[in-house]
Amino acid sequence: MEDTVIANEAVQDQAVVEAAPQKKQRKPINQAKLQDNIWGWIFCIPLIIGTVWFVYICLILAFLLSFTDYTILKGDMFSYVGEMGQHIHPQGAFYWYKYAFTNTFVSKTSGAELNEMGMYLFNTVFYMIGIPIGMILSMFFAVCMSRDIKGGNVFRVLYYFPCVASTISIVFTFKLMFSQTGVMNGILGLDDYAGGGFQWINLNGVTDLTWNKIIADTGGTPTSESVFMRESFWCQGLLTKVVIIVMSVWKGLGGTIILYIAGLSGVNAATKEAAQIDGANGWKIFWKVTMPDLYPVIFYNIVTSVIGGMQIYAEPTLFIGESYITSGYVSLIWLTGLNGMEAYPSQGAAYGMILAVIIFVLTMFQFWLDSRNKD
């Protein structure tokens, strides 16, 4: 009897032990993986610190600064931000934003009243014409170079070479090519225009070329007195911007080609072969098979190109300097916020916030279109 009781108690104890939650055993630490993670964070920390300080913190400071009346001559910027309640612009917190949309100036060539921000923003949008041109050309060359041809790698290097060349040297070369005595006027037969060659770019910084002047130089009589015909922004500015677009497309072609070639290498060969067996021609295979597989690369190129295009600065400035004739929107931020001791960084910050909102909206719109395409 006692043996039976002892046996039952032993069974109960065993059941309790089995029912009790088992402690999870720690997995042995993988030293090699731990070391890789540590080194990974070590290499990432400088980038994280730089991004947080030079992007996020500076963005917040610029946003707060845009509501003040701060100038470089007024001392410490951080005191203005820290005591912003005492330094709100006397004419209202949103003064610089209202100023950006309403500020105008009188043109020296036509006498017309022009909106300052509108001119610079138009230049920036105009330069973005080069994005679809560059995308189409780079796609064409990438498809050609993805075929099994002799010397394909040589062509890839040649097309990529402008990407590693100095922007200053490229601008200098194009200024010589499109000067009044340059090779482009010789090719187009414009080297005898008006006694000295057609004026694509005025290297002396004087932008007085208008459509009326071109008509007069060719022996005609101007019949229109519209601002478009009398304003150098719509003549000299357009001609110079076309040259800059040609240069930008040529300079950026190689990098985009490399990305497309990498994307084309990932296209499903079995699907292409099946389409060929079904009788699809090369054009249909490209649109129905290649393009869908290449879509992630196309989307990446479009997004990054639009963001970069909205921030164009160096190329127009190197061509003829800071001017509403050709300069992009970023030049306006420089001229108002940083150019000289009497500049208004708070005004430049407001212009910068407007640009940030424009880029954000454009990027979100592209992602929205991408989501609809996936649905």
State the pLDDT at residue 2.
Answer: 52
- Residues 72 and 341: beta-carbon distance below 8 Å: yes
Query: Range with the lowest mean pLDDT among 175-179, 215-219, 233-237?
Result: 215-219
Higher pLDDT, residue 225 or 167: 167
Contacts of 3 by beta carbon, 8 Å cutoff, 6+ apart: none
Weakest mean pLDDT among 128-132, 197-201, 306-310 = 197-201
Query: Looking at 12-16, 98-102, 133-137, 192-196, which range is the least confident one?
Result: 12-16
Q: How confident is the model at residue 21 (pLDDT cuts 50, 70, 90)?
A: low
Does residue 311 register a pLDDT over 90? yes
Report in angstroms the alpha-carbon separations of 259 from 251, 269, 298, 306.
Answer: 15, 18, 9, 16
Position 20 confidence tier, pLDDT thresholds 50, 70, 90: low
Q: Range with the lowest mean pLDDT among 63-67, 220-224, 247-251, 368-372?
A: 220-224
- pLDDT-based confidence at residue 36 (cuts at 50, 70, 90): confident
Q: Which amino acid is at 82?
A: G
Assess contact for 203 and 175: CB atoms under 8 A. Answer: yes
103-343 CATH pick, 3.40.1280.10, 3.40.50.300, 1.10.3720.10, 3.40.640.10: 1.10.3720.10
> What is the per-residue pLDDT for 97?
95
Confidence of residue 109 (pLDDT cuts 50, 70, 90): confident
Say what the pLDDT of residue 225 is: 81
Q: Which position has the higher pLDDT, 45 or 22? A: 45
CB 210 within 8 A of CB 325: no
Share of the chain above pLDDT 90, in %: 36
- For the entire predicted model, the pTM comes to 0.83
> Does the pLDDT at position 8 exceed 60?
no
Task: State the pLDDT at residue 306.
Answer: 94
- Residue 29: the pLDDT is 66
256-295 pLDDT, tens per residue? 988 898 888 888 778 878 888 878 887 888 888 888 888 8
Question: At 351, is the pLDDT very low, low, confident or very high (cuts 50, 70, 90)?
Answer: very high
CA atoms within 13 A on the CB side of 322: 10
Predicted pLDDT at 115: 92
Residue 23 has a pLDDT of 56
The 3-state secondary structure of the chain, one letter per residue: CHHHHHHHHHHHHHHHHHHCCCCCCCCCCCHHHHHHHHHHHHHHHHHHHHHHHHHHHHHHHHHHHCCECCCHHHCCHHHHHHCHHHHECCCCCCHHHHHHHHCEEECCCCCCEEEHHHHHHHHHHHHCCHHHHHHHHHHHHHHHHCCCCCCHHHHHHHHHHHHHCCHHHHHHHHHHHCCCCCHHHHHHCCCCHHHCCCCCCCCCCCCCCCHHHHHHHCCCCCCCCCHHHHCHHHCHHHHHHHHHHHHHHHHHHHHHHHHHHHHHCCCCHHHHHHHHHCCCCHHHHHHHHHHHHHHHHHHHHHHHHHHHHHCCCHHHHHHHCCCCCCCCHHHHHHHHHCCCCCCCHHHHHHHHHHHHHHHHHHHHHHHHHHHHHHC
Whether 7 shows a pLDDT value over 70: the answer reads no
* pLDDT at residue 117 tops 90: yes
Listed by start position, the domains of the chain span: 28-102, 103-343
CB atoms closer than 10 angstroms to residue 350: 28
Q: Once rounded to an integer, what is the mean pLDDT over residues 132-149?
A: 86
For residue 4, what pLDDT band results from cuts at 50, 70 and 90? low
Q: 13 or 220, which is more confident?
A: 220
Residue with tokens 């009897």: 1
pLDDT at 46: 92
Q: How far is CA 185 from CA 128, 176, 266, 278, 287, in A?
A: 25, 11, 44, 51, 39
Give the residue carrying structure tokens 């610079």. Answer: 120
Residue corresponding to tokens 């911007």? 241
Nearest 5°: CA angle at 176, between 175 and 179?
80
Q: Work out the average pLDDT over 57-82.
A: 86
Q: What is the pLDDT of residue 3?
A: 55
